[in-house]
Amino acid sequence: METQKNYKKSKMMGFLARFCGVVFALTLSAQLQAATRTITIEKDTATELPLDGKIGEIFVSNPEIADVQNHGQKKAYLYGKHQGVTTIILQSKSGASEAISVVVTHPFSSLRTAIAKVHPDEKVGFTSSPQGIVITGDVASPKASRDIEEIASHYLDKDEKVINNLAVTSPAQVYLRVKFAEVQRSVLNRLSPNWGLNVNSPGHFTYGVLTGRAPIDTATNLFVRDTTSTNAPFGSLGFRANDGVTDVTSLLDIFEQEGLATTLAEPNLIALSGETASFLAGGEYPFPVPQSNTSLSIEFKPFGISLAFTPTVLGSNMINLRVKPEVSDLDTSIQLSYPINGVAVSVPGLKTRKAETSVELASGQSFAIAGLLSSTMASTLTDLPGIGDLPIIGALFRSTNFQSKRTELVIIVTPYIVNPSSPKKLTLPTDGLKFASPLEMLLLKRLNRVEGRNIPSGQHLESSAGFYVE
């Protein structure tokens, strides 16, 4: 019976102890919730933690984030070691406790100071996260956004990153106008006398003088054009005398050519700041590539007018521009021939004018990014040695060839910072275009007419622009 009473007494004491423990825990939890406060410090900085002189123990839940060092009974120092959140529990000698939440952030004070020196007018905010630094706010240009992100990246630890949530308030779309202007002029003069002199002597001897090409076709016994020269056909003057003994043939090839060619291309394109835009107005031509002695493959190479550029808006009016314009066309003067199944196939070459560079200018300003001034002249004199040196008569046995070629090329770029417009303000080249009736085509030689295209006053360009069907 005594044993049973002791067992019941022990069981009752255990129940009371557990009950008191639960009551203490609930009381302590209530005290922590009632006394919890938050202290925010930056990494690698310290702050004073005041004590009331009755603190018996200080507990730090994560010493890798923050730590505390006592300095007597009335003062302690809180030190931030790594960004994050931890809890400090201050327990008095009487058993009362206070929980303090400690938030350690990145060194935002020095970060704000560095950014204020570069962009003092930008108002941005910073928040620490487990992944790194989060940047929020509004900036005036994409360049300011990139600068702030670059500066913040130097305050990161390993494996952290910057989360850029900055909003750009200024227009960040750039419209680029490029002008290719090229003028080519060529001059070619050629004078080529061709002589054929045959003298049959009674002694069965034959004497002759031959210069230049054969002026007579032996099959037809008529004068023949020069079909071997790249500048053929020439204008020619011929003379022949034959008395049965002496046969004199003279054919004077005369050629004079002047050429003038101009190229004007104006590709236009819009791109977002920091992004690359490109376009091609032209086509692709097949280019055979031999693979072996009996086979070949076909590659398509682009040609025409192409433009690629990457704009960067530096401020409210400044633009940094990386531009690559190109104008190319097929050139049969440098073509190649490939035998395919016994048939010669000619493949033209490609004549290209292109440039690639970076410039910085304001919206609406123009810059000549590339230019070319080329002048080539060549003169050739051909004569018959000995006879060609004789006065007066020697001129009949000389051939002259003069060739001159001049080229002027300039590439001008003009960027604009633009905003989207209403579709009602945009006009298409086909607006109001009406095809002429068969009767109008026959009597008036008219292919089309334009109706209903009205441009409001004050909303048109000072000079002509674009394409219009007339």
Q: For 36-47, what is each residue's pLDDT tens digit?
A: 688 888 888 888
Q: What is the pLDDT of residue 461?
A: 43
Q: What is the pLDDT of residue 9?
A: 44
Of 129, 103, 130, 124, nearest to 112 (Cα)?
Answer: 124
Identify the burial level of 417 via C-beta atoms within 10 angstroms of its C-beta, where 0-12 means exposed, 13-18 middle and 19 or more buried: buried
Q: What is the pLDDT of residue 343?
A: 74
Q: What is the pLDDT of residue 134?
A: 92
Q: What is the pLDDT of residue 151?
A: 92
Predicted TM-score (pTM) of this structure? 0.53
Helix/strand/coil for 234: coil
List the Cα angle 402/403/405 in 5-degree steps.
155
CA–CA separation, 187 and 256 (whole Å) = 8
DSSP 347-411: EEEEEEEE--EEEEEETT--EEEEEEEEEEEEEEEEE-TTGGGSTTGGGGGEEEEEEEEEEEEEE
DSSP 396-454: GGEEEEEEEEEEEEEEEEEEEEE----GGG---TTTTEEEPPHHHHHHH---EEE-S--
Q: Which residues in the chain land under pLDDT 70?
A: 1-36, 52-54, 72-73, 170-171, 202-203, 226-234, 292-294, 316, 340-341, 393, 450-470
Helix/strand/coil for 456: coil
